[in-house]
């Protein structure tokens, strides 16, 4: 029997192959938020799920090595601060949330910077927040079982 | 369209949000920074709200276009006299409570998390008050509510978690009712901007949908504001929170999220006069039932929580009269209740801080050991009971006169009965907590630290001088113009569109 934490070797192998792709896909969704469907929230959820996937297959210690709880907490706050900084940046153009950093162009990744930065900020907030919520539920469940 | 007068409007929401996340980031690392940041932001918002009084009285409502988008397509923030009135109440109390919390919250761990949630709640309340967009109102309502669920459970004892859970269920149900109402109204009017909605509703008169939506809003906001049939979560939730939060919840949250939103939606957007008699009946019932439930309580904070239900009843009775005098009385009582109820909760917190007990039967004779808390609670008790010359007397007097004036002497009689019962229950509080014999185990207690004394004395001074708001020279730009804004009803829409041009 397998004494080490996590699931069977089949799940671990599949996870090893797919987890990076899931993370990349999440980042893709975030970065193309202003061009295609998706955006910060959806991408953030996918990013969080890639870490949760790791936690389910290998146990939480391995997941914490990649993204520990204090780091996730800091990143989450940074996401919120980045988002509100983008909003404050709009004051340069005269209004809160005003679109200042250039207009968007179709099919061009590096355009509409305000939307891009907002998406990145939201993905940090949502991704780390969801990861922390799921971790907290998992840890709390363990404590109750004991 | 820019300049400080306009730019300050989003700051009421953005500043507490920013600092809240900064505290989350830095609070655990640097010990003193969360105290300092929270006090500074509360002071800044308090000064800004005073500045806003002058600005809003000068030039009618200010409309801020978020992101430069023109309403009704874009979201706008509206600063009119009613919003300014509420902003001043919210931000003054927040400043005082923050100063109080610096010492009081030392009893708890994770003080920085407390401040972060506290500022989130403030952002939610300020957002509800300044927003001019229906869905935005819902979002801020939920921000404020969710932060308050966390704060009610802050002690994480069994009783507090249970109260918070009950509060959360009721709050979510209220949110669902409000969201359903907003959804139906959106499908009916095809717009979410409040001013635009008011125009469409007044043009398309005679639909039964408005009646249905009114009921949904009455239930939703009534739950948030603890109006009579929806009041029963409050006596569990408010006493369970730490004292500064009890003061915020009872003094501000039920008013900003419940009463203010109700007034704004019914008077400014729906223009629904059919709602007024219902508000009067529900208001009178909560007034009387709240106070009768309060008299029998032996837990200091629980007694105060029942009085919140009763006092919200007074406010709704005044507003429900629909006459200019009644609305003035209702809004004035809203102001006064925020002041004296916050003070009473801070007093109960001081007693709890010094003795570790809130049970009236265990306490007694604290006047000798805690003169400041005792005197300020005396002032607050006399204010809430409606004894002259304190502020509560004047607002209750106006409400009662307005009732008689509008031809409802029965309601006036009930208001007097509730006021006498309030006096009785606060005589009980004074007798059992501050007068009588000092118990031996409390011989060693001391008066609370200076910051806590300062906030209590400050609020007591406002309670003492609050009656001055009725002097026309003082109230003209503040209380009177807020009451006029409510009484003007759907004129709101015209004024908003005028100031956009």
Among the listed residues B34, B53, B44, the one whose alpha carbon sits nearest the alpha carbon of residue B14: B44
pLDDT above 90: residue B118 = yes
Q: Give the pLDDT band (50/70/90) at residue B73.
A: confident
- Per-residue b/e over B456-485, b at no fewer than 16 CB within 10 Å? bebbbebbbebbebbeeeebebbbbbbbeb
Domain assignment present for residue B475? The answer is: no
Give chain A positions within 8 Å (CB) of B68: 93-95, 98-99
Asked if B390 and B254 sit in the same domain, the reply is no
Q: How far is A107 from chain B (nearest CA, A)?
A: 24
Q: How far is A42 from chain B (nearest CA, A)?
A: 19
Asked if B49 and B140 sit in the same domain, the reply is yes
Asked if B235 and B375 sit in the same domain, the reply is no
- Asked if A73's CB is within 8 angstroms of B14's CB, the reply is no
State how beta strands B62-65 and B76-79 pair.
Answer: antiparallel
Please tell me the predicted confidence (pLDDT) of residue A145. Answer: 59
pLDDT in tens, B334-392: 999 999 999 999 999 998 888 888 888 888 888 888 888 889 999 999 999 888 888 88
- Asked if A96's CB is within 8 angstroms of B67's CB, the reply is yes
> What is the ipTM score, two decimals?
0.88
pLDDT in tens, B405-454: 998 999 999 999 999 999 999 998 888 888 888 877 777 788 888 888 99
Asked if B325 and B219 sit in the same domain, the reply is no
Which residue of chain B has the CA closest to A95? B67
Interface check B33 vs A, CB under 8 A: no
Packing angle of the helix pair B194-203, B134-152 (nearest 10 deg) = 120
Asked if B413 and B264 sit in the same domain, the reply is no
Question: Does residue A6 or residue B246 have the better pLDDT?
Answer: B246
Domain assignment present for residue B326? The answer is: yes
pLDDT in tens, B205-240: 777 888 899 999 999 999 998 888 888 888 888 888
- Using a 10 angstrom Cβ sphere, with 0-12 exposed, 13-18 middle and 19 or more buried, the burial of residue A10 is exposed
Give chain A positions within 8 Å (CB) of B67: 90, 95-99
Asked if B307 and B265 sit in the same domain, the reply is no
Out of A107-111, B210-214, B224-228, B243-247, pick the least confident: A107-111
Average pLDDT, chain A: 87
Give chain B positions within 8 Å (CB) of A88: 14, 18
Cβ(B258)–Cβ(B312) below 8 Å: yes
What is the Cα gyration radius of chain B? Answer: 21
Asked if B309 and B289 sit in the same domain, the reply is yes
Asked if B291 and B325 sit in the same domain, the reply is yes
Q: Which run of H or of E encompasses B63?
A: strand B62-65
pLDDT above 80: residue A6 = no
Which residue of chain A has the CA closest to B3? A94
- Asked if B17's CB is within 8 angstroms of A84's CB, the reply is yes
pLDDT > 90 fraction of chain B, expressed in percent and rounded: 46
- Asked if B25's CB is within 8 angstroms of A87's CB, the reply is no
Domain assignment present for residue B18? The answer is: yes
Nearest-by-Cβ selection for B2 from A73, A84, A94: A94
Nearest-by-Cβ selection for A74 from B14, B25, B67: B25
Interface check B420 vs A, CB under 8 A: no
What residues of chain A have any CB closer than 8 angstroms to a CB in chain B? 73-74, 76-78, 80-81, 84, 87-88, 90-91, 93-99
| Structure token pair of residue B424 | 């009785």
Domain assignment present for residue B482? The answer is: no
Chain A to chain B, count of Cβ pairs less than 8 Å apart? 46
Mutate to test the interface with B, among A77, A82, A99, A100 (most CBs of B within 10 A): A77
Domain assignment present for residue B451? The answer is: yes
Q: What angle do CA B165, B166, B169 make, to 5 degrees?
A: 85
Please tell me the predicted confidence (pLDDT) of residue A146. Answer: 53
Asked if B346 and B241 sit in the same domain, the reply is no
Average pLDDT, chain B: 88
Question: Does residue B55 or residue B259 have the better pLDDT?
Answer: B259
Q: For residue A97, how many C-alpha atoms fall within 13 Å in the half-sphere facing its CB?
A: 17
Asked if B172 and B221 sit in the same domain, the reply is yes
Interface check B17 vs A, CB under 8 A: yes
Can you list the positions of beta strands (E) in A7-117?
A: none
Domain assignment present for residue B487? The answer is: no
Q: Considering its fold, how many domains does chain B have in total?
A: 2
Please tell me the predicted confidence (pLDDT) of residue B490. Answer: 80
- Asked if A77's CB is within 8 angstroms of B25's CB, the reply is yes
Interface check B1 vs A, CB under 8 A: yes
Please tell me the predicted confidence (pLDDT) of residue B107. Answer: 83
Peptide bond into B222 cis (omega under 30): no
Q: What are phi and psi of B233, to 5 degrees?
A: -80, -25
CA-to-CA dists, residue B298 to A39, B152, B287, B378, B428, angstroms: 54, 21, 20, 18, 9
pLDDT above 80: residue B77 = yes
Q: Which of residues 64-83 of B touch A (CB under 8 A)?
A: 64-68
Q: How far is B97 from chain A (nearest CA, A)?
A: 25
Domain assignment present for residue B443? The answer is: yes
Say which residue the tokens 């800044």 belong to: B44
Asked if B264 and B289 sit in the same domain, the reply is no
B402 vs B397: CA distance, rounded Å: 8
Helices (H) and strands (E) in chain B, counts: 22, 2
Domain assignment present for residue B489? The answer is: no
B12 vs B256: CA distance, rounded Å: 14
B122 vs B129: CA distance, rounded Å: 11
Nearest-by-Cβ selection for B7 from A81, A84, A91: A91
Q: How far is B68 from chain A (nearest CA, A)?
A: 6
- Asked if B10's CB is within 8 angstroms of A81's CB, the reply is no
Range of the domain at B149: 1-272+494-501
B60 vs B496: CA distance, rounded Å: 9
pLDDT in tens, B383-418: 998 888 888 899 999 999 999 999 899 999 999 999
Q: Give the pLDDT band (50/70/90) at residue B44.
A: very high
Interface check B187 vs A, CB under 8 A: no
Nearest-by-Cβ selection for A81 from B22, B64, B66: B22
pLDDT > 70 fraction of chain B, expressed in percent and rounded: 99
- Asked if A94's CB is within 8 angstroms of B68's CB, the reply is yes
Please tell me the predicted confidence (pLDDT) of residue B1. Answer: 47
Asked if B235 and B318 sit in the same domain, the reply is no
A103 vs A99: CA distance, rounded Å: 8
């Amino acid at each position: 029997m397998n004494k080490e934490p996590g699931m069977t070797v089949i799940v671990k192998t599949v996870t090893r192959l797919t987890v990076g792709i899931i993370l990349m896909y999440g980042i893709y969704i975030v970065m193309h938020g202003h061009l295609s469907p998706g955006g910060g929230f959806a991408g953030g959820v996918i990013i969080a799920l890639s870490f949760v996937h790791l936690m389910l297959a290998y146990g939480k210690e391995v997941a914490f090595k990649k993204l520990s709880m204090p780091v996730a907490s800091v990143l989450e706050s940074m996401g919120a601060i980045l988002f509100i900084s983008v909003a404050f940046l709009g004051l340069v153009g005269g209004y809160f949330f005003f679109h200042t950093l250039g207009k968007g162009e179709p099919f061009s990744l590096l355009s509409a910077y305000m939307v891009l930065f907002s998406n990145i900020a939201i993905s940090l907030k949502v991704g780390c927040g969801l990861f922390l919520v799921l971790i907290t539920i998992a840890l709390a469940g363990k404590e109750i079982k004991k | 369209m820019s300049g400080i007068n306009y730019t300050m409007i989003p700051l009421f929401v953005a500043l507490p949000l920013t600092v809240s996340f900064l505290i989350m980031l830095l609070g655990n690392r640097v010990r003193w920074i969360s105290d300092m940041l929270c006090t500074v932001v509360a002071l800044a918002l308090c000064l800004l709200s005073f500045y806003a009084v002058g600005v809003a009285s000068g030039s009618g409502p200010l409309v801020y276009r978020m992101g430069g988008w023109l309403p009704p397509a874009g979201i706008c923030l509206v600063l009119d006299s009613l919003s300014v009135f509420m902003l001043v109440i919210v931000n003054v109390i927040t400043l005082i409570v923050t100063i109080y919390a610096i010492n009081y919250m030392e009893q708890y761990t994770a003080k920085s998390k407390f401040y972060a949630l506290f500022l989130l709640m403030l952002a939610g309340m300020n957002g509800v008050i300044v927003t001019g967009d229906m869905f935005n109102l819902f979002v801020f309502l939920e921000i404020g509510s969710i932060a308050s669920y966390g704060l009610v459970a802050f002690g994480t004892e069994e009783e507090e978690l249970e109260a918070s859970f009950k509060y959360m269920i009721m709050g979510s149900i209220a949110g669902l009712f409000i969201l359903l109402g907003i959804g139906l109204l959106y499908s009916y009017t095809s717009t979410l901007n409040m001013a635009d909605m008011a125009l469409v509703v007044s043009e398309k008169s005679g639909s039964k949908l408005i009646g249905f939506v009114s009921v949904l809003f009455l239930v939703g906001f009534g739950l948030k504001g603890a109006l009579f049939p929806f009041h029963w979560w409050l006596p569990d939730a408010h006493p369970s929170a730490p004292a500064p939060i009890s003061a915020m919840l009872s003094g501000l949250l039920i008013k900003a999220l419940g009463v203010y939103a109700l007034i704004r939606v019914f008077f400014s957007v729906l223009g629904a006069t059919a709602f007024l008699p219902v508000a009067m009946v529900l208001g009178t019932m909560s007034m009387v039932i709240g106070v009768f439930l309060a008299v029998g309580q032996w837990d200091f904070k629980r007694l105060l929580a029942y009085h919140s239900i009763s006092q919200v009843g007074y406010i709704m009775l005044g507003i429900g009269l629909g006459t200019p005098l009644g609305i003035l009385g209702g809004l004035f009582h809203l102001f006064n209740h925020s002041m004296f109820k916050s003070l009473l909760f801070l007093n109960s917190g001081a007693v709890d801080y010094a003795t570790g007990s809130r049970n009236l039967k265990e306490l007694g004779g604290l006047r000798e050991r805690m003169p400041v808390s005792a005197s300020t609670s005396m002032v607050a008790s006399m204010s809430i009971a409606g004894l002259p010359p304190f502020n509560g007397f004047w607002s209750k007097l106006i409400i009662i006169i307005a009732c008689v004036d509008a031809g409802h002497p029965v309601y006036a009689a009930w208001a007097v009965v509730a006021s006498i019962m309030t006096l009785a229950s606060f005589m009980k509080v004074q007798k059992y907590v501050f007068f009588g014999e000092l118990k031996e185990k409390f011989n060693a207690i001391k008066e609370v630290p200076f910051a806590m004394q300062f906030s209590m004395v400050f609020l007591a001074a406002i309670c003492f001088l609050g009656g001055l708001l009725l002097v026309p020279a003082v109230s003209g730009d503040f209380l009177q113009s807020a009451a006029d804004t409510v009484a003007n009803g759907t004129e709101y829409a015209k004024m908003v569109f005028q100031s956009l041009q």
